[in-house]
Chains A and B, each alone.
Chain A
Amino acid sequence: MLRDITLGQYYPIDSVMHRMDPRTKLFGTMVYIVSLFIADSLLVYVAAALFLVAAIRMSKVPVKFMVRGLKSIVVLLLISVSFNLFLTPGTPIFKIGFLQMTWEGVEFAGFMAVRLIFLVLGSTILTLTTTPNHLTDGLEKSLGFLGKVGVPVHEVSMMMSIALRFIPILIEETDKIMKAQMARGADFESGNLIQKAKAMVPLLVPLFISAFRRATDLAMAMEARCYRGGDGRTKMKPLRYETRDRVAYLVCFLYLTVMIGLKIIL
């Protein structure tokens, strides 16, 4: 049942991309997103496509699995494409009532669609190759400078990793309580809205109780190990840049330069 949901969709294999430092990957993703927004001609998109294909190849994640992530944006894609098709002024192709399709619209919609797809694929590589915990680690380190202006970076990232850590546990718990109540004849599916809402009570009460119990247990366990926030806290596995990260940074800068260069020349 609920077990089939995969959250945080990390794809557990081993590749250069998986081993890369999360900060590098965050930086790469950012560079890629920026480059997509400055792109406005075919050649630039081809360059972006090449970069993307190379990254997918390096991640070793099956393309089939990546494309699955696109399903969620199909509706968004259709809406934005059709708006651009019909609402861009220019040379008309045909006209139905007040709707007219223009050549400029087709071009713009095409780029728009490609941009969106590239955007989603690019950021999926990050989440597919980085465990949620690694990701928050990377974010904490990269955003560390915000701590100087009083943002509690460590606390926020600790909250994030705890929340992420608890998602699968709570899903499992929900699944278990749901089954236990179903074994007592509870029915979560049929009935009108009010009946369905009422049917949630036997699920939600135990779930909340267990979430609170886990929270106090966790707080106790953290205090027992002398946790007192981020100051002076060291890590068992500190993030450290390797050669592959330096190479990746170099590639990213090169890519960005090429993209900006292409934009200026064309």
Chain B
Amino acid sequence: MAIEIKKLNHIYGQDTIFQQYALKNVDLTVEDGEFIGLIGHTGSGKSTLTQHLNGLLKATDGDILYNGESIYREGFSMKTLRSKVGLVFQYPEHQLFEVDVFSDVCFGPKNLGLAQDEIEARAKEALELVGLDESFYKLSPFELSGGQKRRVAIAGVLAMKPEVLILDEPTAGLDPKGRDDILGLVAKLHEEQKMTIILVSHSMEDVAKYVSRLVVMNRGEKVFDGTPKEVFRHYKELEAMGLAAPQITYVVQALRARGIMISEDVTTVEEARDEILKLWRK
């Protein structure tokens, strides 16, 4: 197991009138090589949870084990943890600051104290992973398009060679093509680099297609945890939380209500097509 979260609580502004529970008794185990979708409405605590995983926020109560070792243990190196658990923030392009793309990607590995040639090798590798070739290296990050900037920012985290990659709403504010590119990139990282991925999102459509496990948060609590099929069965409860199942779930439910009994486990348009064709041919 890569990460184990035990009874995690986080309270903002404790002992003031602004006190607010951000996380309530969250238990979660992330296995190596998993592709998890973390879903919740704005303010459900999903971003807060991810910031605990690499030690940016300290829990009010509870424990987090990384490879079996508590990250709150005295002498635990947060720097190592942050290189192993890469966190890509929402709108990561806002963190770019260097004069050119290449030096910005070098920032992470440089902070790890690596040798110059290793830093450059890693930066090149990371930029290649996100699909930016050498013609981009010397451009200013501010000359790039939104999607390209975001890929640079993701490369900046990848250059640290994390084992676990957490992405907070990586598709926010992108056009459909940019969105598909980024999600395709993430899926590729999972398959080819064998990275453990946690994808934070509030869009079920984005997530349903890629992830093997879904965790749903609501008001700081974990409410559902299972495969997308299992979770989407609770589509009525999801709606009550201000979330929605993928549109195809509604189509399937409507068809079933009219007596066309296609399987409830359909979560993508492609699966639905196959199921409907199967019924048609019968």
Contact = CB atoms under 8 A, between A and B. Distances in A.
Do A and B assemble together?
yes
Given A177-B95, A179-B56, A184 B107 contact: yes
Contacts of B56: 179, 182-183
Contacts of B142: 209
A183 B94 contact: no
A255 interface: no
A19 to B, nearest CB: 18
Contact of B94 (A6, A177, A186): A177
A182 B18 CA distance: 26
Interface string A29-42: 00000000000000
B92 to A, nearest CB: 7
A237 interface: no
Interface stretch (B79-87, B170-178, B183-191, B247-255): B79-87
Interface string A168-205: 00000000110111111111000000000000011001
B80 to A, nearest CB: 10
Interface residues of B, number: 28
Nearest to B97: A205
A257 interface: no
B94 A184 contact: no
Contacts of B107: 181, 184-186, 202
Interface in B83-141: 83, 86-87, 89, 92, 94-97, 107-108, 110-112
A103 interface: no
Contacts of B54: 183
B76 interface: no
B51 A184 contact: no
A interface SS class: helix
B82 A182 contact: yes
B111 A185 contact: yes
A180 B82 contact: no
Contact of A206 (B13, B95, B156): B95
A202 B104 CA distance: 10
A210 interface: yes
A240 interface: no
Contacts of B89: 176, 179-180, 183
B240 interface: no
A173 to B, nearest CB: 8
A180 B97 CA distance: 12
Given A201-B97, A202-B107, A206-B96, A183 B87 contact: yes
B257 interface: no
B83 A185 contact: yes
Nearest to B95: A180
Contact of B160 (A184, A202, A210): A184
B58 to A, nearest CB: 10
B96 A185 contact: no
B157 interface: yes
Nearest to B80: A185
Contacts of A176: 89, 94
A181 B95 contact: yes
A186 B111 CA distance: 6
A206 B97 contact: yes
Contact of B112 (A182, A185, A210): A185
Contact of B157 (A177, A184, A205, A206): A184
Contacts of B13: 3-4
A3 B12 CA distance: 8
B17 interface: yes
Nearest to B55: A182
B156 A184 contact: yes
B50 to A, nearest CB: 10
Contacts of B16: 6
A6 B79 CA distance: 29
Interface of B: 12-13, 16-18, 51, 54, 56, 79, 82-83, 86-87, 89, 92, 94-97, 107-108, 110-112, 142, 156-157, 160
18 contacts: A6-B16, A6-B18, A11-B17, A12-B17, A13-B17, A176-B89, A176-B94, A179-B51, A180-B89, A185-B79, A185-B110, A185-B160, A186-B107, A186-B111, A187-B111, A202-B95, A206-B94, A209-B94
Given A176-B94, A185-B110, 5 more contacts: A13-B17, A185-B160, A187-B111, A206-B95, A209-B142
A-B complex: 3 closest residue pairs judged by Cβ atoms: A185-B111, A205-B97, A180-B95
